[in-house]
A and B are shown apart, each in its own frame.
Chain A
Amino acid sequence: EIVLTQVPATLSLSPGERATLSCRASQSVNNHLAWYQQRPGQAPRLLIYDASNRATGIPARFSGSGSGTDFTLTISSLEPEDSAVYSCQQRSNWPPTFGGGTKVEIK
């Protein structure tokens, strides 16, 4: 199965700063990669699918890029409500797999 590695494990930034999260796949997943947001006590939310498409209702400050094995989630200007764990997922090869997550802390 495909292993997804996310770095860094934790990111601590101030409101208004730019966050850059990385997800690397053990083999090519083409563009079949998604990003999810997990706020404490809330249902996970699909943010980005097919590497760069924002899901319905997701603010424009969230963007995704990459293809093959290297992907990036960028939050252009952090808001306090962006404090969460962000996980990537691939659906290129069955079974679907997830990365270990990056925790974004707002100072």
Chain B
Amino acid sequence: QLQLQESGPGLVKPSETLSLTCTVSGGSISSRTDYWGWIRQPPGKGLEWLGSINYSGSTSYNPSLKSRLTISVDTSKNHFFLRLNSVTAADTAVYYCAREIRYFDWFTTWGQGTLVTVSS
């Protein structure tokens, strides 16, 4: 059974870089059709898609964050990563990783999410 798990620091200082890892288990991140995405949810607000990546490193980013966001993949470890630089309090959110069975498709499997707070 495919499972995803987010990990990373729960507290990041303003202007610094937020870095998270998503570990995929019970399946291979190297599937030719799957895409792997990051979604976040600020406190009291709705979900926001951040971006997605496939096994070969092909990425798609939300235009609202594109200048600050990098998503990468390590197929040897079945991990993919999120880096968001120059963070502010507005980046405080629960961050989820999720699987899409193909590009721009539904998010069929999600991690439990990890809360990241931006504060000095």
Given A91-B105, A91-B106, A98:B111 Cβ within 8 A: no
Beta-carbon contact of B110 and A45 below 8 Å: yes
Of B24-32, B40-48, B79-87, the one contacting chain A is: B40-48
Compute how far the CA of A101 lies from the CA of B46 in the bound complex, rounded to whole angstroms: 6
Minimum CB–CB distance from A55 to chain B (whole Å) comes to 7
A62 within 8 A of B: no
B120 within 8 A of A: no
Contact residues in B for A22 (Cβ distance below 8 Å): none
Of A12-20, A34-42, A67-75, A76-84, the one contacting chain B is: A34-42
Contact residues in A for B113 (Cβ distance below 8 Å): 43-44
A64 within 8 A of B: no
Beta-carbon contact of B47 and A98 below 8 Å: yes
Beta-carbon contact of B107 and A36 below 8 Å: yes
Contact residues in A for B108 (Cβ distance below 8 Å): 46, 55
Contact residues in B for A55 (Cβ distance below 8 Å): 108
Compute how far the CA of A95 lies from the CA of B49 in the bound complex, rounded to whole angstroms: 8
Compute how far the CA of A44 lies from the CA of B110 in the bound complex, rounded to whole angstroms: 6
Q: How many residues of B contact A (CB 8 A)?
A: 22
A100 within 8 A of B: yes
Minimum CB–CB distance from A24 to chain B (whole Å) comes to 14
Minimum CB–CB distance from B62 to chain A (whole Å) comes to 5
Minimum CB–CB distance from B18 to chain A (whole Å) comes to 20
Minimum CB–CB distance from A11 to chain B (whole Å) comes to 16
B96 within 8 A of A: yes
Q: Given A36-B107, A49-B106, 5 other A-B contacts at CB below 8 A?
A: A41-B112, A43-B110, A87-B47, A98-B39, A100-B45
Residues of B near any A CB (own CB < 8 A): 4, 39, 45-49, 60, 62-63, 96, 98, 104-113
16 CB contacts below 8 A, A to B, read A34-B107, A41-B112, A43-B111, A43-B113, A44-B47, A45-B110, A46-B106, A46-B108, A49-B106, A87-B46, A91-B104, A97-B49, A98-B39, A98-B47, A99-B46, A100-B45
